[in-house]
Amino acid sequence: MKKRIVIKVGSHVLTENGTIARKRMLALVELITQLKEEDYEVILVSSGAVAAGYTQLPLDRALVENRQALAAIGQPLLLKMYQEKFAIFDVICSQVLFSSDVFDSEKHVKHAKVAIDTLLENGVVPIINENDTVSIEELVFGDNDRLSAHVAHYFDAELLVILSDIDAFYDKDPNQYDDAKRRAIVSKLEKKELEAEHTPNNEFATGGIVTKLQSADFLMQHGREMFLASGFDLSDVRAYLIEEEHVGGTLFK
Ligand code: ADP
């Protein structure tokens, strides 16, 4: 029985100096192909369309409408980069774009699941993103953290792996406090950890740790797990998934 997992990679990991970080993308693609050999079925949720679009047309990204336009320009470029890298390993990848309300409709979820199942059965890696040109929720807030939790739950993955610019969840923000301690395993989240004000202008809640904790909470409530680890250095996630050793990263279970 194959183990189905979802890997979500955020835009901080996938971009560098306003463009796509190709080396990191290649490392991620290599990890996914390794996991496929270890009997994992991998669904990838990838940000990065806006950054890819920006390499072609440098519009002011502070405006939501420009980010929508950049996503439209960048999404095919992003997929082309993935296709080139997966081709090195003889793996086919595919693009699945969702509008934010797809999970509100049982009918749409059912159709989408049939397609995802079929892709996976054929060894193809589905690369999911929100259709940021028409539904701006994750573009404004969330950076696909919530989308990836829904993908994991509704498409029946046992684990969501979030690859972030932070290597774990700490008892306080490690970028602000030197004495922050990593929490290796978390099985319950407090209400206050899940509540940060949800406004597009709130730096903390945009992407950030709160949407990750909300995703973890959603998955734990539905009997699934989440692993948060570094997307810059894939050794912790590789150790956890392949060697079954929990060295770094946080497991929410
Ligand atoms: P990504 O773009 O990689 O998905 P974000 O940068 O949006 O991730 O969110 C991770 C950031 O959240 C970290 O860089 C860190 O500064 C911040 N953060 C705040 N509180 C915590 C905490 N308790 N543990 C870990 N990171 C935290």
User: So where are the chain's domains?
Assistant: 3-252
Q: Whose CA is nearest to atom 16 of ligand 1?
A: 175
Say if CB 10 and CB 146 are below 8 A apart: no
d(CA 196, CA 141): 12
**Quick one: tokens of 199?**
């406004």
What spacing in Å lies between the alpha carbon of 29 and ligand 1's midpoint?
Answer: 23
- Using CA atoms, how far residue 116 sits from 42, 129, 147, in Å, is 10, 13, 15
Residues annotated as binding site for ATP?
A: 8, 164-165, 206-212
What spacing in Å lies between the alpha carbon of 155 and ligand 1's midpoint?
Answer: 26
Say if CB 160 and CB 8 are below 8 A apart: yes
d(CA 249, CA 163): 10
The pLDDT assigned to 208 comes to 82
41 bridge partner residues? 4
Q: Whose CA is nearest to atom 5 of ligand 1?
A: 208
pLDDT tens for 90-124 read: 999 999 999 878 899 999 999 999 999 999 999 99
Say if CB 28 and CB 9 are below 8 A apart: yes
Mutate to test the pocket of ligand 1, among 146, 147, 166 (most ligand atoms within 8 A of CB): 166
The pLDDT assigned to 197 comes to 57
Helices 64-88 and 22-37, packing angle to 10 deg: 50
pLDDT tens for 126-178 read: 999 998 888 777 677 667 999 999 999 999 999 999 999 999 999 988 988 99
pTM confidence score: 0.94
What spacing in Å lies between the alpha carbon of 39 and ligand 1's midpoint?
Answer: 31
What spacing in Å lies between the alpha carbon of 12 and ligand 1's midpoint?
Answer: 10
Cβ–ligand 1 distance for 147 under 6 Å, the answer no
Cβ–ligand 1 distance for 38 under 6 Å, the answer no
What spacing in Å lies between the alpha carbon of 129 and ligand 1's midpoint?
Answer: 21
pLDDT tens for 236-248 read: 999 999 999 999 9
Average pLDDT over residues 50-75: 94
Closest CA to 3 of 160, 216, 167: 160
**Quick one: tokens of 58?**
């440098």
- The closest-lying atom of ligand 1 relative to the alpha carbon of residue 171 is 23
Share of the chain above pLDDT 90, in %: 78
Work out the burial of residue 243: count CB atoms within 10 Å of its CB; fewer than 13 is exposed, 13-18 middle, 19 or more buried.
Answer: exposed
Residue 178, CB-side half-sphere exposure with 13 Å CA sphere: 0
Residue indicated by tokens 């993103």: 129
The pLDDT assigned to 11 comes to 86
pLDDT beyond 90 at 23:
yes
More confident site: 70 or 199:
70
Say if CB 251 and CB 169 are below 8 A apart: no
Residue 189, CB-side half-sphere exposure with 13 Å CA sphere: 25
Cβ–ligand 1 distance for 225 under 6 Å, the answer no
What's the CATH number of domain 3-252, 1.10.3720.10, 3.40.1160.10, 3.30.479.10, 3.40.50.2000? 3.40.1160.10
Mutate to test the pocket of ligand 1, among 12, 167, 173, 233 (most ligand atoms within 8 A of CB): 173
Q: Whose CA is nearest to atom 9 of ligand 1?
A: 208
